Amino acid sequence: DIQMTQSPSSLSASVGDRVTITCRASQTITTYLNWYQQKPGKAPKVLIYAASNLQNGVPSRFSGSGSGTDFTLTISSLQPEDFAAYYCQQSYSPPFTFGPGTKVDIK
């Protein structure tokens, strides 16, 4: 199985901050990397697919980059509704695996 890691596991930030979350795969996954946001008690919601493609309806302050094994999710200006957990997920090779998550909370 392809193992996914994320860093940091949690971070505290203020509204307006630029936030970057990193995801690393245990082997190359080209650009088969997706990012999800999850709020408490809710299902995950896709933000970015195929490493850098913004899902319809997702604000443009979210962006993704990377290829191979290293990827980043950036929130250019953190908004109150962005405090949540973020997960990366590889879809290069089944079983599809998720990272352990990064929790973003209010400083």
Partner 1 sequence: QVQLQESGPGLVKPSQTLSLTCTVSGDSISSTGHYWSWIRQNPGKGLEWIGYIYYSGDTYYNPSLKSRIAMSIDASKNQFSLSLTSVNAADTAVYYCARMILPRYFDYWGQGTLVTVSS
Residues at the interface with partner 1 (CB under 8 A) = 1, 32, 34, 36, 42-46, 49-50, 55, 87, 89, 91, 94-101
CB closer to partner 1, 18 vs 39: 39
Nearest to partner 1 of 17, 98 (CB atom): 98
| Lookup: tokens for 54 | 């913004």
CB atoms < 10 A from the CB of 73, how many? 26
Q: Where are the alpha helices (DSSP H) in 7-105?
A: none
Sign of CA dihedral 69, 51, 4, 85: positive
Minimum Å distance from CB 16 to partner 1?
Answer: 29
16 closest CA partner among 76, 106, 102: 76
Backbone angles phi, psi at 32, to 5 degrees: -85, 65
Q: How far is the CB of 78 from partner 1 (least distance, A)?
A: 23
Torsion, Cα 55 88 93 46, to 10 degrees, reads -20
The residue (of 17 and 52) whose beta carbon lies closer to partner 1 is 52
Q: How near is the Cβ of 32 to partner 1 at its closest, in Å? A: 6
Nearer to partner 1 among residue 6 and residue 78 (C-beta): 6
- Least distance from C-beta 59 to partner 1, angstroms? 17
